[in-house]
Amino acid sequence: MGWFGETMDSVKSIQIRQALSQALTLGLIVTSALIIWKGLICMTGSESPVVVVLSESMEPGFARGDILFLHMSEDPIRAGEIVVFNVDGRDIPIVHRVIKVHERKDTGEVYVLTKGDNNEEDDRALYARGQHWLQRRHIMGRAVGFLPYVGWVTIIMTERPIIKYVLIGALGLLVITSKD
Amino acid sequence: MHSFGYRANALLTFAVTILALMCAMASICDNLNHPTPTSQVQVLNINWFQKQPNGNDEVSMTMNISADLQSLFTWNTKQVFVFLAAEYGTPKNSLNQISLWDGIIPTKEHAKFWIHTSNKYRFIDQGSNLRGKEFNFTLHWHVMPKTGKMFADKIVMSGYRLPQEYR
């Protein structure tokens, strides 16, 4: 009986240890992902340092599914730069190129007009009603770097949520069943 | 230890690492290219020049633009976006930049071009400061890579003085 009890105890203790270490591994993965994301926000100064291109309005430069790296510095915004901006009353940020800039002498405030390379018309039709110019507060960042295709992962996941759950489930199962 | 899953994982990790490394190297390579582009612009005609009802000056002009941007292209270049801007200062604004014409150059073969055009975007001032105003023509370009960092630069060209009177 003593021998059996000892064995049971050792088995139990191993399982608890294993469960704990697996929970730790899982926590480590989640926290390191969070650290990388927050670190990027800190370094680039933009609230969303990476965006996925969703529309064809910047073809052939940027295609749907490309990833853009944003940077938000104190440098003034100039014509030709590709900026990501939010319009009041729209949820999805837009990535377009600046074609006109007017910078005030006294306040330094900029008035910016944008256009998609692949669009015929400038963006006044996309702005809020009665809005003619974008200002600093609308702009989330400017695109500095570019990585093709990688964004398809997020596009597929948002359009087919089932794939997301299957993937998360499979990963979770892998972590739980892995032995070391 | 040596299950199928582990091997597949190791192979995938290795492949992605190598791919990322190659992308980074391709982007770093671009720094070795020192381009020497040239360009010229000539105003042929002021088509019309007037004050809009809301008080802003607007001008329409016809230009000849020629440029040689072939040296901008490297093997990591997807396209070059080029545009001609009018740049000037006014009492109210320290800088006004107005894109007059732009184009996308897909390959090196198209990078030496000559074009006769009127301004593609409306040249409208914020206010009424354009009579007799001298502005600079600036040719800007943005190099879009196949992957990696984007490059931009410009050439400031000769200025042009708008007429003293509306026409």
Please list the residues that pair with B138 across neighbouring strands.
B85, B156
**What is the pLDDT, as a whole number, of residue A54?**
86
- Residue B17 reports pLDDT greater than 60: yes
Q: What tokens were used for A84? A: 């990501």
Dihedral (CA of B80, B86, B92, B95) sign: positive
Contact between A86 and A138 (Cβ < 8 Å): yes
**H or E stretch at A99:** strand A94-104
Q: pLDDT-based confidence at A140, cuts 50/70/90?
A: confident
Q: What long-range pairs does A107-110 form, CB within 8 A, spacing at least 24?
A: A108/A76, A108/B94, A109/A135, A109/A136, A110/A76, A110/A77, A110/A135, A110/A136
Looking at the complex, report in whole angstroms how far the Cα of residue B100 sits from the nearest Cα belonging to chain A: 9
Contact of B96 with chain A, judged by CB distance below 8 Å, is answered with: yes
Active site residues of A: 57, 96, 123
Query: CB under 8 Å to B16, separation ≥6 — which residues?
Result: none
Contact of A130 with chain B, judged by CB distance below 8 Å, is answered with: no
Residue of A nearest to B95 (CA): A103
Instruction: Name the pairing type of β-strands A50-52 and A67-71.
Output: antiparallel
- The residue among B56, B150, B155 with the most chain A CBs within 10 A of its CB, best to mutate, is B150
Query: Which tens digits make up the pLDDT trace of A51-87?
Result: 888 888 888 888 888 888 888 888 888 998 999 998 8
**What is the pLDDT, as a whole number, of residue A178?**
66
| Subunit contact B94:A148, Cβ cutoff 8 A | no
The closest CB to that of B97, out of A78, A105, A174, belongs to A78
The ipTM value here is: 0.84
**What is the pLDDT, as a whole number, of residue B100?**
92
Cα–Cα distance measured from residue A152 to residue A150, given in angstroms and rounded to the nearest whole number:
5
Contact between B132 and B8 (Cβ < 8 Å): no
Residue of A nearest to B88 (CA): A102
Please list the residues that pair with A96 across neighbouring strands.
A83
**Contact list, B96 vs chain A (CB under 8 Å):** 101-103
Q: What tokens were used for B25? A: 């190297």
Average pLDDT of the segment spanning A127-134: 88
CATH pick for B35-161 out of 1.10.10, 2.10.260, 1.25.10, 2.60.40: 2.60.40
Query: Which tens digits make up the pLDDT trace of B73-127?
Result: 988 888 999 999 999 999 989 999 999 999 999 999 999 999 999 989 999 998 8
**What is the pLDDT, as a whole number, of residue B1?**
60
DSSP track, chain B: ---HHHHHHHHHHHHHHHHHHHHHHHHHHGGG-----EEEEEEEEEEEEEE-TTS-EEEEEEEEEEEE-GGG--TTEEEEEEEEEEEE--SSEEEEEEEEEEEEE-SGGGSEEEEEEE-SS-EE-SSS--TT-EEEEEEEEEEEESSEE-EEEEEEEEEEE--SS--
Average pLDDT, chain B: 90
Q: pLDDT-based confidence at A179, cuts 50/70/90?
A: low
Contact of B126 with chain A, judged by CB distance below 8 Å, is answered with: yes
**What is the pLDDT, as a whole number, of residue B18?**
95
Q: How far is CA B116 from the centre of its chain?
A: 18
**Helix axis angle, A161-177 relative to A152-159, nearest 10°?**
110
- Residue A1 reports pLDDT greater than 70: no
| Subunit contact B98:A100, Cβ cutoff 8 A | yes
- Residue A128 reports pLDDT greater than 90: no
Looking at the complex, report in whole angstroms how far the Cα of residue A149 sits from the nearest Cα belonging to chain B: 10
Amino acid at A49: P
